[in-house]
Structure 1
Amino acid sequence: MADIDNDQVHDVEIGIVGSGSMGAGMTLLFSQNGSRIACYDYDADAVKTLMKEAKEDENVDENLVHGYTSLDKLVSSFPKDQGKRRILVLSLPHGQTADKILDELLPRLEKDDIIIDGGNEWWAETERRQAKAKEKGVEWVGMGVSGGYQAARHGPSMSPGCTKEAWEYLKPYLEKWSAKTKNGEPCVLHIGPGGSGHYVKMIHNGIEHAHLSILCEARSILRYQLEYTNQEISNLFESWWKEGPLRGNFLVGIGFKGLRFEEGDGIKNKEGIVEDIEDKVTQDVDKSEGTGTWSTKEIAERHVAAPAIAAAHQLRIISADKFERLDVAKNLQLPQPSRAKEADLSKEEKDNLLNTVHTAVYGAILGAFVQGLNIIARASKDQEWGVSLADCIKIWRSGCIIQSDAIAEFLIPLLEPFPPSEPLNLLRSIPEIGKELAKTFEAQKTLCRIALDTDAVAPALNASLDYLKQVNCKTLPTSFEEMELDYFGHHNYDIRGKTEKGSKKGNYHTEFSRMPGV
């Protein structure tokens, strides 16, 4: 391990730009796998901290890690061998920071060098930067990196969006660094061209937000409406994680472990530190993370129904400002969530109810997968990316937040027969998925009924149930809405039995204002 900027090597394989938690994790991961790494950050303290971590990590050869605060030294640390391309991995915030580093790097790079943007980024911005880099002959790869800072250290799920040629060059590296399934399969595949890699990661995070909301709502009902202790809920979640339809679900797994913590940073509570953690989620609202907002934007702009994802985002918004919420509650003076009558059930009855809760949560989580995959399918068709939904599930089998082993085993064989070019609505194209969700319908109704009766907050659970009700309903209440739209806006309507396929505007219009008595 070298002191920063005091020496110069010329044989690094990978350059890492950004030495924060994600960049540091990737530096240690890559070097642990035998790659010589040059890490760069304008903040000398960040580089020093990273190099100290490399020295102290028994799994890392400190001699493979070199730190710089000079971009020139970073770029010149690569070998001069003909045919050897520089690979630079960016671990930076989205937006202007990435543009600034691109402008600084391009004059220093050569044709065929590769820049991998491993941060979360809006897919259209990725494509803009790809076009700019292409003018110099440089490949800009938009790559989603899933799993948080711990996965960045131990092996993330990765979704690169780039040319096939760039993928073939990067493939040996990415497969070496990625998370692996239990069978040793790398959790990285070529997602498609352009911004497809960042798009898939964005929707991964949208699904993640829905799953987080579903689980926190279910845990709250179990704790406060059904009066289970956190230890009992932890044991329940552990049983879900070990077997059944939520087997191997990452969030259920960390949930049962987290509920057992009685001491944390600034907290000590025998009932579990979760009891003293404030009920506010600021991520997205504070603009530190954009993927939840972008996912919700895509739901609207792609015209794809994904209510659980949207509801989860709304709950975050409402939760973020605690003092504002308390002031609103003073004005509303509505009942607060209360104890459920089901808390008085016999042990046998409560055991049956817990099975129902298990089924309901599974149905909501599976439904969020379906909704997210439908968004990806629509975007892939619109942008002509050719994204394989089966491949999305394959790379989500390890190293990511929405890993769910049993669900992956269920979905992959159903998705594999469909070519990437074929647009999918999963509930229309794959009857088996609809039948599986239908099995959870009554359980979801029961859980939502408990929430309704007790005024418990359960937006994602209710949205998941309502989604099934809406897509299943042969006659929706929207004929009245269509009539009124035509009344005030001349929006036209279709006539029952004469409707054309698709979502085109109707052919009929009535001049309501000319009718007698109107």
Structure 2
Amino acid sequence: MADLDNDQVSDLEIGIVGSGSMGSGMTLLFSEKGSVVGCYDYDKEAVERVLDQAKEDENVDTSKVHGFTSLEKLFNAFPKGSGGDKKKPRMFVISLPHGKPVDGILDELLPLTEEGDIIIDGGNEWWEDTERRQRKAKDHGVQWIGMGVSGGYQAARHGPSISPGGDKEAYDYVEPFLDKWAARAPNGDACVEYMGPGGAGHYVKMIHNGIEHAHMSILCEVRAILYHQLGLSNDEISNMFESWYKKGPLRGNFLVGIGYKGLRFQEGDGIKDKRGIVEGIEDKVTQDVDKSEGTGTWSTKEMAERHVAAPAIAASHQLRVISANKFERLEVADNLDMPQPKTGSIDDKTKEELLDIVEQAVYGGILGGFIQGLQIISRASTDQKWGIELAKCLRIWRAGCIIQSDAITEFLMPLVEPFGPSEPLNLLQSIPEVAKELRKTYEPMKKLYAYAVEVDAVAPAVGATVEWLKAVGGRNLPTDFEEMELDYFGHHDYDLKAKTEKGSHKGRYHTEFQST
């Protein structure tokens, strides 16, 4: 029977620290898979909710679920010989908001731990904080694994995509458990892979979320054009998305899948609308601005600091930030008096032409988001000497995660698998098959974006992807003029078109310009 602070419990295999939506989901999942689990939270009501969920869930053996409001009692509930015996360490999974809450619980945990214990941070976290905590834990003889857990609270309950990083020996010990808990790919493989030492696991999850944000922006921008400018109903858009999900280049795309399902809901919390509840949901995303979710901000920061072009990820982040304060935005809108997106004026021919190319345009944007994110991971892996294999990232993204996209993964995996951890792939477009696939989506994306500009529709991620393709495929960019001005005022030097060289070294030539 599920219980609370039972001093008689002495057979725990895993302790879950944090009983929110993710922690409670993992508690139920781990117990369903046969592990004896202790869930801890200082909030007694949160723990009691998890115990009640266990009782109500027919797939959970409640004798394997125990609740704790005392960390000391949680530790005492492990079998004797745990902790000090390195062959059977205690294992804990932390499921808390990033930042200070994790530092706080680390300070509470360490005095109770013994050499050999393993702590797994299963939240979203900034990779440098993960590495700082790994060093602090190691000073106590404890291993700290930074583990990305993807798929949201539902995947936490039924099987997430997992990207652990840290000490390899500690990973080898927990791997059988992670294999048991992870989502299963279509071929039955567990969606868990060791990403590398240090903060590699959390880094992969962070960029996964950056890719996710780019994909969501592409989809919301296109859905708005279909609805407001092309005049499709939400039911019609839902049917279109469903057809994409079932067949074609967007087959098995998770966000397309939940998109078509969500558009069919006509009743929700506080909303009842025959057109679909999306019409009653305010157009603001706050998770980056309120700092409850840092991965979008961090991904954009990494893009800049690693010098990797990922404009769709950056544009999606900027749109979210702009959207976050609706009250303020309405005041700005009054001041700017910008033309609002035009509606109801499209002719039948233009509508038909756009409907013919919209799937390819969305595919190009989503494929571009994958490529941009993978290139950030590749560059960071090279810089930090993590040895991350991009094929491993794609393997764990086949199920249980938000960016699951079956057709795209099946296309990319065989192309990146030949490249090992010591062979960085900073430009996936250098793979001919990838370049060819991107190229065929350019005209559809350009046409859709041109229409968005014409009717004043908001489409920053679509536009950023078009400009990215134009730039990375450009034989001559307008930056020759910028380079001249940099040399003029800053003596930054320049290279010569007549002597193109490999690399990004500083120029070898300088002109002393005369002021006029």
TM, length-normalised to structure 2: 0.98
**Is this contact kept in 2: 1:340–1:450, CA < 8 A?**
no
Amino acid at match of 1:407: I
1:338 corresponding residue in structure 2: 342
Residues in 2 aligned to 1:166 and 1:251: alpha-carbon distance in whole angstroms: 34
- Please report how far the alpha carbon of residue 487 of structure 1 lies from its aligned counterpart in structure 2 after TM superposition: 1.0
Task: Say whether residues 1:484 and 2:500 are aligned partners.
Answer: no
Counterpart mapping for 1:406-425 below 5 A: 406-425=407-426
- Summarize deviations over 1:46-80 as a string: whole Å, max 9, x none: 00111011011111011110101100011111112
In 2, Cα distance between the equivalents of 1:60 and 1:426?
A: 46
- Structure 1 residue 321 and structure 2 residue 325: aligned? yes
**CA apart distance, 1:182:** 1.7
Find out whether 1:94 has 2:98 as its counterpart.
yes
Q: Deviations over 1:386-414 (max 9, x none)?
A: 00001101100100000000000000000
Deviation at 1:7, TM superposition (A): 3.2
Residue 3 (structure 1) aligns with: 3
Counterparts of 1:88-487 in structure 2, within 5 Å, are: 88-339=92-343, 341=345, 343-345=346-348, 350=351, 352-487=353-488
Whole-Å separation in 2 of the counterparts to 1:311 and 1:288: 20
| Structure 2 gap ranges (5+) | none
Are the aligned partners of 2:137 and 2:143 in contact in 1 as well (CA < 8 Å)?
yes
- Deviation, 1:3, is 3.1
Give CA-to-partner distance per residue, 1:441-493, whole Å, 9 cap, x none.
Answer: 11001100110110000000000111000000000000111111111111111
Unaligned runs of 5+ in 1: none
1 CA distance for matches of 2:290 and 2:108? Answer: 28
Letter in 2 for 1:72: E
Partner of 1:38: 38
C-alpha separation in 1, matches of 2:344 and 2:307: 38
1:351 shift after superposition:
5.0
How far apart, CA to CA, are the structure 1 residues paired with 2:25 and 2:102? 19
- Would you say the 8 A contact 1:426–1:433 is kept in 2? no
Cα shift at 1:344: 2.5
Per-residue deviation at 1:98?
0.9
d(CA) in 2 for partners of 1:464, 1:276 = 29
Are the counterparts in 1 of residues 445 and 466 from structure 2 also a CA contact under 8 Å? yes
Deviation, 1:203, is 0.1
Q: Which residue pairs with 2:56 in the alignment?
A: 56
* Contact 2:19–2:46 under 8 Å retained in 1: yes
SS in 2 for 1:11: coil
Structure 1 residues 253-278: Cα deviation after superposition (integer angstroms, max 9, x where no partner): 00000000000000000000101110
Partner SS, residue 141 of structure 1: strand
**Match of 2:348, as an amino acid?**
L
Shift of 1:14: 0.4
Q: What is the aligned residue count?
A: 512
Partner Cα distance (1:98, 1:317) in 2: 25
Cα pair 2:7 2:77 within 8 Å, conserved: no
Q: Deviations over 1:327-347 (max 9, x none)?
A: 111111121000375x3315x
- SS of equivalent residue, structure 1 residue 159: strand
Alpha carbons 2:313, 2:369 under 8 Å: kept: yes
The CA RMSD measured in Å over matched residues stands at 1.2
Contact 2:144/2:166, CA 8 A, preserved across alignment:
yes
d(CA) in 1 for partners of 2:472 and 2:25? Answer: 43
Counterpart amino acid of residue 57 in structure 1? D
Secondary structure, counterpart of 2:177 in structure 1: helix
Q: Which residue of 2 aligns with 1:501?
A: 502
Q: Aligned equivalents of 2:480 and 2:421: distance in 1?
A: 35
Task: Give the deviation of 1:94 after TM superposition.
Answer: 0.7
CA distance in 2, matches of 1:333, 1:509: 46
Instruction: Tell me the distance in 2 between the aligned counterparts of 1:340 and 1:494.
Output: 51
What SS does the corresponding residue of 1:160 show, helix, strand or coil?
strand
CA contact (8 A) 2:2 2:54 kept: no
Which string of whole-angstrom CA distances, capped at 9 and with x for unpartnered residues, describes residues 281-307 of structure 1?
111111000000000000110000000
1:145 partner SS:
strand
Greater mean deviation of Cα atoms: 7-16 or 359-368: 7-16
C-alpha distance in 1 between matches for 2:3 and 2:208: 39
Distance in 2, Cα, partners of 1:302 & 1:425: 11
Question: Deviations 1:113-133 (Å, cap 9, x if unpaired)?
Answer: 100000000000000110111
Tell me which stretches of 4 or more aligned residues in structure 1 moved more than 4 Å.
349-352
**Which amino acid counterpart does residue 91 of structure 2 have in structure 1?**
I
Return the alpha-carbon distance in structure 1 between the equivalents of residues 74 and 186 of structure 2: 36
1:200-251 deviations in Å (ceiling 9; x for gaps): 0000000000000000000000000111000000000000000000000000
Distance in 2 separating the partners of 1:340 and 1:194: 54
- CA 1:166–1:17 in structure 2 vs 1: closer, same or farther (change >3 Å)? same
Shift of 1:317: 0.7
**Counterpart secondary structure, 1:439:** helix
Any conservation in 2 of the 1:17–1:91 contact (CA below 8 Å)? yes
| Aligned counterparts of 1:381 and 1:407: Cα–Cα separation in 2 | 25
TM-score by length of 1: 0.97
Deviation of the 1:429 alpha carbon = 3.4
